[in-house]
Chains A and B, each alone.
Chain A
């Protein structure tokens, strides 16, 4: 059983492919790391798989359902922490979480109960009444994660969950995710630049380059005898060292 299956998934922007002919299978219960350099097509893929972006070609099945035919059924069973988070800045953290749960079909009382539990689990109780717009970036990330979890999804999409937050927050989120996958509670599809964190978390890996899938398999299969970072650099290509800039360190000159 696969949580995600795509076949020839393609997305063009101004006739240029952002994602091209992506054929991917993510097993149910996997912790899937989707890696790639900036602009490789990671966020576009997540947007297509979560219904934010229509594919130009190809098809996707999520949790056994055809995303193009039955997007609402898919949405009911997935949780998403999108790029940019997607929070309402003028709701309090607690309101955001409860209303989010209700929109995913939870009864008000149940949504409120889960809100309290999630706020406690993510150490946000003290800031529950604060407007989301006043949250720090790390707190917003945690709240977005709580929103993605409140309805008990079977599949979780996380777009750069560790970007821009401190090591303590990373550690807290990482522990929670490992626990969830360890219990077999859900499948996680994650994109990240932080390869060391990804390597310690994931069971399966896909590497995308220029919109095309360059490597795909279990962590052991993709990594072989090296590290994930070595494989990643070998796959996407190393950046050339900067030349010139000899004037740096010679003072402002202004």
Chain B
């Protein structure tokens, strides 16, 4: 136990030192700002959740309870999981680092899960939501049954945290194997093509009934599915009927935690796998000039990152689903039907923000080369910007093709406008993102977990940049709508895109000088002893 306490103290001291040390104050401020925002917003949403639970318990309508509880638990579970997988900041925890100590690894693992939960402002938000729902239901019908409801909420939260950890381990394993990634991406594309062909040939009804059968997959989200069943029974007053579901939930949580722990432990004990890159010496990519090898390096880094494979896997599938199911529900007006395409034009840039907001993070020790080699800092920035925009554009092209395949080709003006929106916001965002990359660099792991996420201050800056860019491009929409001329939107967005490219080019020398001036801080942050 003393060793465990020592480990806890060690982690706490390291975290405090990091937050109070050089560069950590920004993180501390950003984290505090997030919490300051999270609490009132969380309380507001908790009030809504409480009101919903209150009404559901008072009305005792089985249908309303079924819909309400499913919406609440699956909604929270989906949001919690997706945000945790993309934005969680687990303080770079790696089980390998604690194996050396005489602490049972499972204790260290559980401690890290709990510490991760406490340090995550988003988790606070989800917990507030649950507290709101619990209080609402308890006020609606006070009684001893609320103790069981409290148990359900606690087990749901614990189960979700453990399932997120399990998914992180599974994803890390799947995407760390290049062949698995490639097969996964290929399978999705072939699946979408076959689906489109099948639906076009008149097999839509069979596909629909097949999809309904897929609802059994909800049990994969066991904490949410079991909590829904238990809560439904408790809300309707069937306490005895709730007990098996609560028992199932109580058994599922440690089982999920155990599976996540075993995977993490086996990964830690196995050490790093001997990954190989395709192609040995060879001649490399025939890209011209001094910029060519820099661009080649950046693109190879991006293509080898598991995030790229996941995005290439998920985004076109999502676009195909939107084109197939959501587009027909939209009003027939041209502007409404163009919205999904515009959304993906922005979203494909947004999901690559870890690249353009922390451009030097993945270089780690390699970042020294940019200052040792006779290359101009402006060229380094240009190569990084071009590579990240090429990745985002490739993702956008794939999602647009999938969207068109299932939802039909968009109007020519919409395609032109989406291209201008994508390229334009990309230019503005990367121009601003370069400053963030230089001023707040953070060493980044080449994985989907363990320190691969953005620093809190960078995430805040990212929100400001994205909001600013979106507002800049959003205002002309009102103008185009008032003139009822969509080509006006194309013209203005194209002008904004050209302006963005010009601005980025004009301020590149300034950014390059900043990079030169911040060289020592950048090296210390990304390649130094603390990295």
Q: A residues near B, CB below 8 A? A: 50-54, 72-73, 75-76, 80, 82, 84-92, 94-95, 98-100, 102-105, 108-109, 111-112, 115-116, 119, 128-131, 133-134
Contacts and interface: CB of A to CB of B under 8 A. Distances in A.
B363 interface: yes
Contacts of B305: 90
A230 to B, nearest CB: 32
Given A129-B276, A130-B274, A134-B274, A88 B283 contact: no
A62 B237 CA distance: 84
A95 B277 contact: yes
B281 A52 contact: no
A105 B270 CA distance: 41
Interface string B181-211: 0000000000000000000000000000000
Given A130-B276, A130-B277, A134-B275, A88 B366 contact: yes
A181 B293 CA distance: 30
B281 A115 contact: yes
B75 to A, nearest CB: 37
Contact of B369 (A94, A103, A105): A103
Given A131-B277, A133-B272, A109 B371 contact: no
22 contacts: A54-B519, A75-B372, A84-B365, A84-B527, A88-B365, A89-B364, A90-B277, A90-B300, A90-B304, A91-B300, A92-B276, A94-B280, A99-B294, A100-B369, A100-B373, A103-B293, A105-B290, A108-B283, A108-B286, A109-B283, A119-B281, A129-B280
A86 B368 contact: yes
A99 B274 CA distance: 22
Interface in B499-529: 519-520, 523, 527
B372 A50 contact: yes
A175 B372 CA distance: 26
A116 B281 contact: yes
A137 to B, nearest CB: 13
B297 A99 contact: yes
Contact of A85 (B283, B362, B365): B365
A89 B446 CA distance: 9
Contact of B300 (A95, A102, A133): A95
Contacts of A109: 283
Interface in B278-316: 278-284, 286, 290, 292-294, 296-297, 300-301, 304-305
Contacts of B446: 89-90, 133
Given A52-B519, A88-B297, A98 B365 contact: no
B3 to A, nearest CB: 10
B520 A103 contact: no
Interface string B307-331: 0000000000000000000000000
Given A99-B296, A133-B275, A134-B274, A75 B374 contact: yes
- 5 A-B pairs closest in CB distance: A86-B368, A88-B366, A102-B293, A92-B277, A129-B280
A53 B284 contact: no
B53 to A, nearest CB: 48
B368 A84 contact: yes
B487 to A, nearest CB: 44
Nearest to B273: A134
B362 A90 contact: yes
Contacts of B300: 90-91, 95
B375 interface: yes
A128 B276 CA distance: 9
- Give the most central of B293, B296, B520: most A CB within 10 Å: B293
A116 B280 CA distance: 10
A92 B279 contact: yes
A10 B364 CA distance: 28
Given A90-B362, A91-B277, A98 B284 contact: yes
A119 B276 CA distance: 16
A50 B371 CA distance: 9
- Give the most central of A76, A90, A98, A128: most B CB within 10 Å: A90
Interface residues of B, number: 43
B293 A87 contact: no
A170 B284 CA distance: 31
Interface in B106-153: none
B359 to A, nearest CB: 14
A89 B366 contact: yes
Contact of B372 (A51, A130, A133): A51
A72 B379 CA distance: 13
A162 B345 CA distance: 51
Given A52-B368, A90-B301, A102-B292, A112 B281 contact: yes
Contacts of B290: 102-103, 105
Contacts of A80: 372
Given A88-B365, A100-B373, 20 more contacts: A52-B519, A54-B519, A75-B373, A82-B372, A86-B368, A87-B365, A88-B297, A88-B369, A90-B277, A90-B300, A91-B277, A94-B281, A95-B284, A98-B282, A98-B293, A99-B297, A104-B373, A112-B283, A133-B446, A134-B273
A37 B530 CA distance: 22
Given A75-B374, A130-B274, A86 B284 contact: no
B522 to A, nearest CB: 11
Contacts of B304: 90
A82 B523 CA distance: 12
Contacts of A111: 284
A86 B528 CA distance: 10
Contact of B365 (A54, A89, A104, A105): A89
A86 B372 contact: yes
A52 B370 CA distance: 10
B366 A87 contact: yes
Interface in B332-383: 362-369, 371-376
- Give the most central of A72, A73, A75, A95: most B CB within 10 Å: A95
A87 B375 CA distance: 16
Nearest to B286: A108
Contacts of B294: 99, 103
A94 B520 contact: no
Nearest to A77: B374
A176 B42 CA distance: 65
Contact of A112 (B272, B282, B363, B523): B282
Contact of A52 (B278, B283, B523): B523
A95 B278 CA distance: 10
A131 B275 contact: yes
A86 B366 contact: yes
Nearest to B280: A129
Contacts of A94: 279-282
B342 to A, nearest CB: 34
A180 B95 CA distance: 44
Contacts of B523: 52
- Give the most central of B277, B300, B304: most A CB within 10 Å: B277
A81 to B, nearest CB: 10
A108 B294 CA distance: 12
B20 to A, nearest CB: 16
- Give the most central of B304, B362, B371, B523: most A CB within 10 Å: B371
